[in-house]
Structure 1
Amino acid sequence: MKSKLETQFMQFLGGRNLVFGLLVLILLGIVIYIYNKISFIFHPFIVILSTVAAPTILAFIAYYLINPIVNLLEKARIKRIWGILIIILGIAGIITSITMLVAPTIETQINDLIVNFPVFVQQMSENFRGWIDQSIFGPYYDEGYDWVVANLSDISSKIGAYVGGALEGIRNVANTLTHVFIAIFTFPFILFFLLKDSAKFKQYCLRLLPPKFRKDADHILKNMDVQVGSYIRGQIIVALCIGILLYIGYLIIGLDYAIILAITASVTSVVPYLGPIIAISPAIIIAIVHSPFMLVKLAIVWAAVQFLEGHLISPNIMGRTMKIHPLTIMIVLLVAGNLFGLIGVILGIPGYAILKVLVQYLYGKFKIRYNRYFGDEHGTYELKKNKLS
């Protein structure tokens, strides 16, 4: 009986294939070790990938937004290429018109905010200091202030030590602007060919695989497409709705710099949970400086918008496609942020969705394999039909 169980277990793990798998992992570890020692050889390829990554990511985000509309036009017997051109030109025209109408107001508010924001911060600090002095925390505040003065009094000399790196900073800024220009210039071309030839590219990639794996690979790609596409479309639509609602609310309560604060909230709200916290910070500072009653009105507006977003907008737009627990989202954001910075925070959830599809597929294969070798003796897993969810 023992030998039979051992045979079953070895067959379950893959038998001889397990040995080959372990050898492949060992060889992969050796390759990674060698790569780490001679990584400078691959620097040109890393530069190429980093250059292409930004416009490609932007193109994929726009692809998931525009492709459903292109498909609808194609069903209406409009050739795909003409539908793509109509949509791209239409969106470009709308963006240009809105920019021309709103740009002067935005420019004025940005200039005023840049000038006045340090004053707002100083006034808030003075108000906070006055409140602290009248409370039991006054002596502790003075001690903390004295410590800061004693330990950071030579901060000017420390700053001067870094002035020599100014040219390096200028060069970094120039490189960043170059990457931004390249991304903006190449993004429409990548988007056009994604919309035009995405199906052909997918079929081409599937034909590269052995016929045995093509059906499973196609199923995985469809699941990834549903998960990532639903998230991107839903998150951007929700962000636009939040921006519009906040702008209306700020206008109603008379908060200064309404359009800038609304745009900031709309952009940052693409990051779940953390985005609203970042977005409300400048609004709170401006409201506190204006008056305590303005802070109360701001709280009412934010509570109303968050209620509408949580109970009306997100449930109807996002649906239940992602099925990710809030705690999981927080963990993903923290880990992705520590690993990849701002890009990780923005792309962490779509990346998790892709990884989730792969893990679900592998777990499904594991259950099938377990049922084959141990099901009759120890009970079987309940298998669900393969449906896109």
Structure 2
Amino acid sequence: MGMSEDPTPPDVPADTSDQVDPRRSVQMVALDPTFLRRSVLIILVGILLFQILEWSALRLAGFLFNLLLAWLLAISFDPLVSGLAKRGLPRALATAIVAVGVIAGIVIFLVLFGGALASQATALVLSVPFLIVDVVSWLNGTFDARIDPAEITSNLNLTTQQLADLAGSLAGGLLGIISGVFGAIFSFVTIIVFSFYFSASAPQIKRFLASWLKPERQVVFIEVWDISVRKAGGFVISKLVLATVAAAAHVAFFWIIDIPYWLPMGIFAGFVSQFIPTIGTYIGIIVPAFFAAFNDPWDVLWIVLFATIYQQIENYIFSPRISTATMAINSGVALASVFIGAALFGPIGAIIGIPVIAIVIAVIETYGRRYELDPELHDRV
């Protein structure tokens, strides 16, 4: 019987050249102790510097905001200062004359009307709950509504006690004076001193900043500075003059017809109509008319007639003369700047919103380029 061959080939050792030893896949990374210490130190120093900057920003926020107000104030009165300087007066003396004139005007106003303004403002605040009761009573009687005035005043935080506390602070209570006098004095002195410095040293500041630029950019910087300051300053000055004239006219008329709180209402109507574009005129009429309606309904008619006549006089006589050579700002842009400023910085932000946007628009108008609309598009727009 023959021998049969096993079809199964003998075991062949597997090729282990492609197999990787698991121990070889582990890569050991050695960190340089010097590099590690340096990296940790840099991170810690960075965190420390960030904390210091954050702490400094929080502590200096009020001071920096006062510097912003001082700069805007200096720009606002720059046309007056520059006008006196062109007549041969030293710029520091011209700045001092303008500053003394403004402060003297404020002091005279406070001496003549400060007491009346404080007392009427206090009475106005205290009258709000009673005014709400009158309005709700009229609505309930006219439309058979079932509105609870006490619930409204409570939801609006306008209870008599809360308003009495607010009125006490407005009237200048002892605690209010003690708590706020130092901060108010510091802010006032900061704004006055730095606005005087910014105005008197404007040429030196301008040259100093321009010296950090390349020669070809210095001309652009100086021109932008001059045009923006001139246009924005003229715009603010014109608005202040128009607001003062409007406030004086409204105060006088409200005093003649003897409406309640004639002094704060007249000031409110005059300044709101100028510094809140488009809707400011209507707000300045509606608010005094609303308060006057509960005293004598005929006063509402007189207020509307006076405001209409005065607006025409301002548009055709005062504004063209006072606002000549000043820039025009789109009413929508100006209104947006007021609301943005109020959202960022409160009531003061609403006031400075327009000067800031005036500077921005002055720069854009100086170096921006506008093109004529294609004649073929005239019928489509």
Is 2:139 aligned against 1:128?
Answer: yes
Contact 1:61 1:232 in 2 (8 A): no
Q: Does structure 1 retain, via aligned residues, the 8 Å contact 2:85–2:91?
A: yes
Report the counterpart of residue 370 of structure 1 in structure 2.
Answer: none
2:225 alignment partner AA:
L
Question: Deviation per CA, 1:133-166, whole angstroms, max 9, x where unpaired?
Answer: 2xxxxxxx44x779x89xx8xxx9xx9xxxxxxx
Mapped partners of 1:194, 1:202: distance in 2: 10
Q: Does structure 2 retain, via aligned residues, the 8 Å contact 1:250–1:301?
A: no
Q: Give yes or no for the alignment of 1:239 onto 2:243.
A: yes
Q: Which residue of 2 aligns with 1:74?
A: 85
Query: Letter of the aligned partner of 2:304 in structure 1?
Result: A
Verify: 1:305 aligned to 2:307, yes or no: no
* Residue in structure 1 matched with residue 294 of structure 2 by the alignment: 289
What is the alpha-carbon distance in structure 2 between the residues aligned to residue 314 and residue 61 of structure 1?
Answer: 23
Q: Aligned equivalents of 1:329 and 1:110: distance in 2?
A: 28
Number of residue pairs aligned between Structure 1 and Structure 2: 308
Whose RCO is larger (CA < 8 A, sep 6+)?
1
Verify the 8 A CA contact 1:55 1:183 in the aligned structure 2: yes
Q: Does 1:323 align with 2:334?
A: no
Which ranges of structure 1 fall in alignment gaps of 5 or more residues?
1-34, 134-140, 160-172, 368-380, 382-389
Report deviation, 1:348.
3.0
Equivalent pair of 1:253/1:298 in contact (CA under 8 Å):
no
Within-5 A mapping of 1:1-389: 40-47=51-58, 49-133=60-144, 141-142=145-146, 179-268=183-272, 269-319=274-324, 321-335=326-340, 337-338=342-343, 341-360=346-365, 363-364=368-369
Cα distance in 1 for residues equivalent to 2:135 and 2:367: 55
Summarize the Cα distance change of 1:48–1:218 in structure 2 as closer, same or farther, 3 Å threshold: farther
Distance in 1 separating the partners of 2:194 and 2:227: 23
* Whole-angstrom CA distance in 2 between matches of 1:225 and 1:197: 14
Q: Which has the larger displacement, 188-197 or 77-86?
A: 77-86
* Conserved? CA contact 1:230–1:321, under 8 Å: yes
How many angstroms apart in 2 are the aligned matches of 1:338 and 1:113? 25
Q: Which stretches in structure 2 are left out of the alignment for 5+ residues?
A: 1-45, 163-176, 375-381
- TM-score scaled by length of structure 2: 0.67
Following the alignment from structure 2 to structure 1, what is the Cα–Cα distance between the partners of residues 348 and 109? 27
Shift of 1:207: 0.6
Q: Write out per-residue CA displacement over residues 194-226 of structure 1, whole angstroms, 9 at most, x where no aligned residue.
A: 222111111110011111211111121122112
* Structure number with bigger Rg: 2
Work out whether residues 227 and 363 of structure 2, in 8 Å CA contact, stay in contact via their aligned partners in 1.
no
CA root-mean-square deviation = 3.9
Distance 1:274 1:288 in 2: 21
